[in-house]
Amino acid sequence: MAIINVVVEDGCTGCGLCEQIAPEVFEVSDIAKVKDGVVVSQFESQIKEAADSCPVSVIKIS
């Protein structure tokens, strides 16, 4: 299934792991956000890895 949307739900701890795994997609200051203008279909494997690795499972892909 192709990823068409990525969101970070409430509960992010700001650990920074998603940014380490997919720096093109996520940026973390206090909490993670998806960068503006990201073409998520270009980074599917990294996004899936970040979602699987997030310790509080707040990265949701659809």
Q: Interface residues with ligand SF4 (CB under 6 A)?
A: 8, 12-18, 28, 32, 54-56, 58-59
Instruction: State the DSSP string of the chain.
Output: -----EEE-TT-----HHHHH-TTTEEESSSEEEPTT--GGGGHHHHHHHHHH-TT--EEE-
**In whole angstroms, how close is the CB of 19 to ligand SF4 at the nearest point?**
7
Closer Cβ to ligand SF4, 1 or 13, answer by number: 13
**In whole angstroms, how close is the CB of 39 to ligand SF4 at the nearest point?**
20
Closer Cβ to ligand SF4, 7 or 42, answer by number: 7
